[in-house]
Structure 1
């Protein structure tokens, strides 16, 4: 393992430990200290820059104002002993998120500085690439704000919060969910020496939230052993019908928003390899599984059958000896299956735009 990778793992563990500590904290002391340290760091940083004293004063006031609001929120709005545990959990999660507000303000100031640091008499020295970079950053920021309003809407947050208690990071929840009919369909597909990779933009609450961080439209990937997608399978939340983990997926489950769509690709798989992949799915089904919700952030799996969708698809392809790129299984993203196809192993089959089906 490289030193850089070791540092990244240690940092992730440290951040996870900090978040867990804050979530289980029974007093506001830890939050108060972190808010104060963040404000002190940023105030010191702005005073060490070459900005005018006017700018330094304005941002000092802003950071202090944010600190006051943070302290008021954590002192008054969070630690209510009478609140339900899920309400307390959400309030603490918000308290963790607002740690980053002053850093976000600093980032906005950075973008503003880039856009206005070029005087009119210096325009000749400003390259087209520099201007394009500034415009791109600005447009990306606006786009992220728009997406954020949707992903962080009250309805989405409530849905995600209500779904969290259904998950487990340590034990298998989902077992024997796939019936004999499913495996019969898999066996019937053995005459087709391909497996099908489906990437989807579904519009689920979790998918919309994930897209804020991945900046990708397609945030779910599934696997099918037949072209008609009767055997589509992946790791998901169970749609409040089954438990989170390994579940069969129906085509209609992908259609949760007006512009929902899927793209289907296929890859050649010898019959014997395909059998091995099917048997591995049978083994997971019999042993049990759970959705690796926490692993989306920590990039760690505690037990073998606790996975998220892209982790599952990558593992099954690897077991079938048909994986076509190498990556740590806990870091693979749905779009990696398309973007990392350097050797052109995939063949595009078709795309389904669900809004066109309704028209």
Structure 2
């Protein structure tokens, strides 16, 4: 059976909102995304829909080559999956993408996370809750705690993840451009 790779992207964009979250978590990365290609073109999460407003959020396709991500620190992990697992994850995301206007950012979930009380809300996720759900839908992992209590650092600690890169996203893309230009 052929194996494919997916990636988990953890970022710190340095915004005021992420600085507030970081004060609580004391962790270097407080945003999680799932990525389906090594060029980082298929990046999905729950986050800001408007760059300057952290309170307007929902399902987002993230362009990590611009905006808030330009100067973000990151850690990228890979995980091997089967075609079947990949298909299940993509199906789940496609369902959300088709109905994205029904989905919203789970701000109440962040508050319940802080007080360690699970809160499942229909059609609402925060970033790590969403990534955990995608992994669960793909039958990669069955978490021991409710998905609404999964943090980005919990995701980073999943067994069988391989750290591929840690540093600035801008540096990663600059290095990639050099590699591609050397090949051409």
What range is the shorter-chain TM-score in? 0.7 to 0.9
Q: 1:71-129 deviations in whole A, cap 9, x for unaligned?
A: xxxxxxxxxxxxxxxxxxxxxxxxxxxxxxxxxxxxxxxxxxxxxxxxxxxxxxxxxxx
Identify which of 76, 96, 105 aligns with 1:284: 96
TM-score relative to the length of structure 1? 0.42
How many Å separate the matches in 2 of 1:326 and 1:250?
32
How far is the alpha carbon of 1:192 from its aligned partner? 6.6
- Determine the structure 1 residue equivalent to 2:84: 272
Aligned residue number for residue 177 of structure 2: none
> What secondary structure is seen at the aligned counterpart in 2 of 1:313?
helix
Alignment of 1:13-92 (within 5 A): none
How far apart, in 2, do the equivalents of 1:338 and 1:240 lie?
A: 25
User: How many positions carry a matched residue from both structures?
Assistant: 162
The residue aligned with 2:42 is 231
Distance 1:279 1:354, change over 3 A: closer
TM-score (norm 2): 0.78
CA distance in 2, matches of 1:278, 1:315: 12
Which of 220, 233, 247 does residue 31 from structure 2 map onto?
220
Give the equivalent residue in structure 2 for 1:39: none
Q: 1:275 to 1:232 in 2, by over 3 A?
A: same
Bigger fraction of residues in helix: 1
Q: Whole-Å Cα distance in 2 between the matches of residues 315 and 200 of structure 1?
A: 19
Aligned to 1:349: 164
Q: Which runs of 5+ in 2 are unaligned?
A: 114-118, 175-184
Query: Does residue 249 in structure 1 map to residue 62 in structure 2?
Result: yes
The structure-2 alpha-carbon separation of the partners of 1:267 and 1:199, relative to structure 1 and needing over 3 Å to count, comes to: same
Deviation at 1:225, TM superposition (A): 0.6
- Name structure 1 gaps, 5 residues minimum: 1-190
Q: Do structure 1's residue 323 and structure 2's residue 141 form an aligned pair?
A: yes
1:293 deviation in Å?
1.0
Asked whether the equivalents of residues 70 and 170 of structure 2 are also in contact (C-alpha less than 8 Å), the reply is no
Change (3 A) 1:306 1:271: same
Give CA-to-partner distance per residue, 1:244-293, whole Å, 9 cap, x none.
21111111245365xx3111111111111111111111111223210001
Task: Specify which of 78, 103, 121 is matched with residue 302 of structure 1.
Answer: 121
CA separation in 2, counterparts of 1:320 and 1:194?
13
For the Cα contact (< 8 Å) 1:262–1:352, is it kept in 2? yes
Alpha carbons 2:3, 2:80 under 8 Å: kept: no
- Contact 1:192–1:226 (Cα < 8 Å) also in 2: no
- Equivalent residues of 2:6, 2:78 under 8 A apart: yes
Contact 1:222 1:234 in 2 (8 A): yes
